[in-house]
Structure 1
Amino acid sequence: MIPDMTSPPADDGVNDRLRASATGKAFAKLLPFLILMYIVAFLDRSNIGSAKQALHTDVGVSDAMFAFGAGVFFVGYALFEIPSNLILYRVGARRWMARIMVTWGVVSAAMMFTQGNLSFVLLRTLLGVAEAGFFPGIMLYLTFWFPEKERTRVLGVFYFGYPLAMTFGNPLSGALFNLDGLFGLAGWQWMFLLEGGLAVAMGIATWFVLPDKPQDVDWLSDDEKSTLSTILDRESQAKAGAGQHGASLGALLHSTKLLQFLALYMVMQVASYGVVFYLPEQVSLILHEKIGFRVGLVSGIPWAFAILSTFVITRFVQKYDAPRLGLLVCLSAAAIGLFVSSSHSGPIAIIGLCIAAAGVVTVQAVFWNFPLAHFTGVQAAGAIALINALGNLGGFAAPNIRSFASHIWETPVAGLYAVALSGLIGLAIASFLPRTNHVTHRPAH
C-alpha cells in the first residue's frame, strides 16, 4: 500500500517519534559526507592564502594582483550562482553536486600552471565559475531533509566543515610545501595538484553516495518518509500563508527582507575573507617564519577555536530560539578579534585571531536560519543563491579593502581595522532582524 504523503499521522506523539527517528537517521547518514564535501570545497577556495608568498617569489604575482585574484573568484561565482542552484532544484543534488565538484577540482589543480598575474586571475575566475552553486545547493538540499526545528543544529554541525578545513587544511598545505622539488614541481604546485585531485575524487563519490530526497533511500521506513514529507509540506505552506513573500522568483525583487539578508551577508563575508586569505601570512609575521608546516599548524589554532564556538553558540541559539542574539554576539567577536589581532604581542595577536575566527565562522551558521525560515520551494532556491552570490562579493571586496587601506596608510594594521569595521556595520544591520524565527510557527491562512 502506498503511504499517504499529505495527511499527517493521527497521533502527535507518534508524529514526533517518527520525525525524530527520520531526522536522526538523515543526520547520521548525510552530515558526515556533506561536511567532508564542504571541507574540500573550502580548502580549494582558501589555499591560496598558504601559496601567497610562493606565488610572489616564484612567478611574480604582485600583492595587488593577489588581492584582486583572491577576490575575483567571487565574481565568476556570483554570475553563475543562481542558474546553478535552479538547475540543482530541477535535476537533483546528486547529479549537479558531482558535476560541480569534478569541474572545480580540475580547475583548482590547474592552478599549479600559474605563470604570472594574468594566468592567476584567469584561473581564479574559472574556479569561481566552476564552484558556483555548491554552497547554496547544500543549503537548499538541507531543506529537503530537515524541518526548521532541527535545522539550527544541522547548520551548526555542517559549518564545522569551514573551521575543520582551516584547522587541518593549513597544516596540510604547509606539509605539501615540503614536497618542493619532487618531480620538478614546486611545493605550492603539489598543494594545488593534490588538493584539487581530492575534489575530483569527492565529486565521483558524490554520484554514488548522495541521495536526492527522502523518497529515494531505503534506510527510512514508509512511515518516516510520510511523516517527514508532511512536516516539510506544512512548513512550506506556513511560510506562504504568513504573507511574507510572493510565490514567484520575480517577487524576490520586491522583498525588503531579501535586501536586508543580502547586505548583512555581504559584510559578513568581508570580515570572513579578511581573515581567511591573510591568516597564514599574519601568523608567519607573528612567528617570524616563512610559511611551512609550523606556521600552518599555528594557523590552525584559531579555526579549532571556531569549532568550539560553533558547537556552543548554535546550541544556545536553538535552545532559546535566539538567532538575532547569536548574530550580534558573533559579529561583535569578529570586529573585536580583528582589532586585537593587530597587537604587537604575539600571544595577544593569536588570541585576537582566535576570537575573530570564531566570530566569522559561527555567525554564518546562525545567519542561514533566517533566509531558510523565510523562503520555500523554487523561491528558496533563487533566494539562497542570490544571497550567497551577491553576498559573497564581500569576498571580492575583503582582500582589496585590506590591500588598499594598508597601501594608503602604509601599515598592515590599517587593513585589519578596515575589515574589522565590517563587523560593526553588520551589527547595525542585524539589529533590525526579528529576535526569533517564528514565521513558520504561525498557522497558515
Structure 2
Amino acid sequence: MPLLGLMYLIAYIDRQNISYAKLQMVGSLGLSETAYGLGASLFFLGYFLFEVPANVFLEKVGARRWFARIMFTWGIVTILLGFTTSTAMFYTLRFLLGVAEAGFFPGVLFAMTLWFPQAHRARMIGWFMIASAFANAIGAAIGGALLELDGIWGLQGWQWVFLATGLPAVILAVIVLRILPDGPATAPWLSPEQKTWLTRTIESERADGGHADHGNPFAALLDKRVLMLAGVYIAFPLSAYGLSYWLPTVVKSFGVSNLANGFINIIPWIITAAALWWVPRHAARTGASGNALTWHVVGPGLIAAVALALSVVLPGAAVKFACLCVAAAGTFSAQPVFWSMPGSFLKGASAAAGIAAINSVGNLGGFIAQNVVPFIRDQTQSNLVPMFFLSACLAVGCALMFIVLTALRRDAARRAVPVGAARPA
C-alpha cells in the first residue's frame, strides 16, 4: 500500500500540475480560459479511449511491468509539456498524457480485488485515495514555489512545474519494476500459510457472492450493473476535477501571491485526507452494506453539493474558502466505499474491464468540467459562479446514485439466495 500510494501521489501531481502552470502558461502561450480548459480536458479523452484496453492488458501481463510502463511514459510526457511552444503542442501532449496514464487507477482497484477481502477493501481504497489528497497538498506547495523559479536557467516558472513533477515518475518506474509483486503469490513478506488463507478467503467470496466472469472481458462493458455505476459515477469526477483544477485560480482571485496561493491550497487537501480516512472506517463500523453503504457514498456527495453552492452566495473570502474545503472533502471521501462495489460482483478479466469502464466513463466528468468551468468563467467574469454548475451536477448525481445503489443492493440480495429458496420481495 505505501508503494501504490506513492505511485498515485506522483500520478495525481502530474495530473494537477496544470492548474498551477496555468497561472503563467495562459499568458505565455496566449491562451484564453476556454482554450486552456479544452487542452486540460484532452487528458480525459485519451484516458477514456485507452483505459479499458489498458486494464485488460494489465490482467494479462501483471501489475509490476504494466505499472512501470505507465509511470515511465507519463513521466516523459509530463517533462515534454515543459517545452510546449504552441497551442497544438499543448493539446497533443495533454491527450498523450491521458493515453499514457490510462489503466493506472482502475488497475490498482483491480489489483486490490486480488489482495484484500471485501470487508477490508473500502478502507484500503480509502488509504490509497488519501494519496490524491496529499498529492494536491504537496502539489499546491511545490506548484506555487516552482512558479517562483521563473527565469532560472532561461526557463519560465510554468516550465519548471512540468520538469520537476515529471522526473519523479520516470525514476519511480525503475523502482516499481524491481520491487512490486504482481500478486499475493509472489509477495515475499507473506508466509505460505498466509498466502493460502488469502487465496481461499477471496475465492470463497467470489463463489458466494454472484461474481461474474464473462469469458470475453469486454462483455463486462454490457453488464447492466457496470453501465449503471458508470453512468452515475460521472458526477463525482466532474465536481472533483472541476474543483481541484480551478481552486488555485479561485484563491488567486483573493489577491494572494503565487507562493501564498500554494500554501493556502494545502488546507483543503489535509481536510480531504482526514475525510478519506474516516468515512470508509465509519462505513465498516456501521456495516458497509445495505443502506449504510449507500449513505456513505451519497451523504458526503450531498454535503459537497451544498458547500459548493454556499461558496458562491456566502460573503467573505475566508467563508468561501471554508466552503470549498468542505466540498473537496465530501466529493473525494464518497468514492472509496463506491469503489468497493464492482469487486463484489466481478472477477478476473471481467473485473479489470468493468472497473476500467466505470472509471473511464466517470472521468469524462473531468473532460466536461475542464470545458464548462472556464466557459462559465469567460461568460460571467466570475471565478466562483462555476461552482453553481458543479453543485447542480453533484446533487443530481447523488440522487441518481441513491437509486442505482439501492437497485444493486436488491439485485445482490436476490443473487445470494440459493437456488430453489424463496427470494426476497
**Normalising TM by the smaller chain, what interval?**
over 0.9
Instruction: Give the aligned partner of residue 259 of structure 2.
Output: 293
Instruction: Give the aligned partner of residue 227 of structure 1.
Output: 197
Amino acid at match of 1:96: W
C-alpha contact (below 8 Å) 1:239/1:444 kept by paired residues: no
Once the 2 structures are TM-superposed, how far is the Cα of residue 304 of structure 1 from its aligned partner? 0.7
C-alpha contact (below 8 Å) 1:40/1:198 kept by paired residues: yes
Instruction: Give the aligned partner of residue 278 of structure 1.
Output: 246
Task: For 2:5 and 2:400, locate their aligned partners in 1 and report how far apart those are by CA, in whole Å.
Answer: 29
Task: For 2:186 and 2:405, locate their aligned partners in 1 and report how far apart those are by CA, in whole Å.
Answer: 36
Amino acid at match of 2:246: Y
Once the 2 structures are TM-superposed, how far is the Cα of residue 375 of structure 1 from its aligned partner? 1.3
Amino acid at match of 2:52: I
Task: For 1:194 and 1:411, locate their aligned partners in 2 and report how far apart those are by CA, in whole Å.
Answer: 31
**1:119-138 equivalent positions in 2, closer than 5 A:** 119-138=89-108
Task: For 1:276 and 1:417, locate their aligned partners in 2 and report how far apart those are by CA, in whole Å.
Answer: 15
C-alpha contact (below 8 Å) 1:245/1:251 kept by paired residues: no
Instruction: Give the aligned partner of residue 316 of structure 2.
Output: 345
Going from structure 1 to structure 2, the CA distance change for 1:280 and 1:250 (only over 3 Å counts) comes to closer
C-alpha contact (below 8 Å) 2:123/2:336 kept by paired residues: no
2:281 counterpart of 1:311: no
1:237-280 CA-to-partner distances (Å, cap 9, x unmatched) read 22346xx7855435434422212211122111111111011011
1:22-55 CA-to-partner distances (Å, cap 9, x unmatched) read xxxxxxxxx1111111000000001111111201
Going from structure 1 to structure 2, the CA distance change for 1:253 and 1:82 (only over 3 Å counts) comes to closer
Compute the TM-score of the two structures, normalised by the length of structure 2: 0.92
Instruction: Give the aligned partner of residue 262 of structure 1.
Output: 230
Task: For 2:193 and 2:112, locate their aligned partners in 1 and report how far apart those are by CA, in whole Å.
Answer: 20
Instruction: Give the aligned partner of residue 381 of structure 1.
Output: 352
Instruction: Say which SS state the counterpart of residue 174 (structure 2) adopts.
Output: helix
Runs of 4+ that moved beyond 6 A = none
Once the 2 structures are TM-superposed, how far is the Cα of residue 437 of structure 1 from its aligned partner? 6.3
Instruction: Give the aligned partner of residue 106 of structure 1.
Output: 76
Instruction: Say which SS state the counterpart of residue 159 (structure 1) adopts.
Output: helix
Amino acid at match of 2:398: L
**1:25-36 equivalent positions in 2, closer than 5 A:** 31-36=1-6
Task: For 2:34 and 2:362, locate their aligned partners in 1 and report how far apart those are by CA, in whole Å.
Answer: 22
1:48-87 CA-to-partner distances (Å, cap 9, x unmatched) read 1111120112221221111101111011111111111111
Amino acid at match of 1:399: Q
Instruction: Give the aligned partner of residue 342 of structure 2.
Output: 371
C-alpha contact (below 8 Å) 1:108/1:192 kept by paired residues: yes
C-alpha contact (below 8 Å) 2:294/2:402 kept by paired residues: yes
Going from structure 1 to structure 2, the CA distance change for 1:293 and 1:411 (only over 3 Å counts) comes to closer
1:268-314 CA-to-partner distances (Å, cap 9, x unmatched) read 1111111011011111112x024x22110101101111111111111
C-alpha contact (below 8 Å) 1:327/1:363 kept by paired residues: yes
Instruction: Give the aligned partner of residue 48 of structure 1.
Output: 18
Instruction: Give the aligned partner of residue 68 of structure 1.
Output: 38
Task: For 2:315 and 2:13, locate their aligned partners in 1 and report how far apart those are by CA, in whole Å.
Answer: 29
> RMSD of aligned C-alpha atoms?
1.9
Task: For 1:437 and 1:146, locate their aligned partners in 2 and report how far apart those are by CA, in whole Å.
Answer: 21
Instruction: Give the aligned partner of residue 189 of structure 1.
Output: 159
2:359 counterpart of 1:394: no
Instruction: Give the aligned partner of residue 423 of structure 2.
Output: none
Amino acid at match of 1:119: M
Instruction: Give the aligned partner of residue 161 of structure 1.
Output: 131
Amino acid at match of 2:107: G
C-alpha contact (below 8 Å) 2:233/2:362 kept by paired residues: yes
Amino acid at match of 1:314: P
C-alpha contact (below 8 Å) 1:50/1:280 kept by paired residues: yes
Task: For 2:218 and 2:130, locate their aligned partners in 1 and report how far apart those are by CA, in whole Å.
Answer: 34
Instruction: Give the aligned partner of residue 55 of structure 2.
Output: 85
Going from structure 1 to structure 2, the CA distance change for 1:412 and 1:65 (only over 3 Å counts) comes to same
Instruction: Give the aligned partner of residue 23 of structure 1.
Output: none
Instruction: Say which SS state the counterpart of residue 277 (structure 1) adopts.
Output: helix
Task: For 1:159 and 1:261, locate their aligned partners in 2 and report how far apart those are by CA, in whole Å.
Answer: 19
Instruction: Say which SS state the counterpart of residue 375 (structure 1) adopts.
Output: coil
Instruction: Give the aligned partner of residue 3 of structure 1.
Output: none
**1:136-175 equivalent positions in 2, closer than 5 A:** 136-175=106-145
Runs of 5+ consecutive residues of structure 2 not aligned to the other structure: 420-425
Residue of structure 2 aligned with 1:429, choices 362, 385, 400: 400
Task: For 1:196 and 1:245, locate their aligned partners in 2 and report how far apart those are by CA, in whole Å.
Answer: 37
Instruction: Give the aligned partner of residue 184 of structure 2.
Output: 214
Instruction: Give the aligned partner of residue 179 of structure 1.
Output: 149
C-alpha contact (below 8 Å) 1:370/1:437 kept by paired residues: no
Task: For 2:57 and 2:214, locate their aligned partners in 1 and report how far apart those are by CA, in whole Å.
Answer: 21
Task: For 2:86 and 2:222, locate their aligned partners in 1 and report how far apart those are by CA, in whole Å.
Answer: 44
Task: For 1:397 and 1:408, locate their aligned partners in 2 and report how far apart those are by CA, in whole Å.
Answer: 16
Instruction: Say which SS state the counterpart of residue 218 (structure 1) adopts.
Output: coil
Aligned-pair identity (%): 35
Instruction: Give the aligned partner of residue 422 of structure 2.
Output: none
Going from structure 1 to structure 2, the CA distance change for 1:218 and 1:253 (only over 3 Å counts) comes to closer
C-alpha contact (below 8 Å) 2:16/2:139 kept by paired residues: no
Instruction: Say which SS state the counterpart of residue 179 (structure 1) adopts.
Output: coil
Amino acid at match of 1:295: N
Compute the TM-score of the two structures, normalised by the length of structure 1: 0.88
Instruction: Say which SS state the counterpart of residue 278 (structure 1) adopts.
Output: helix
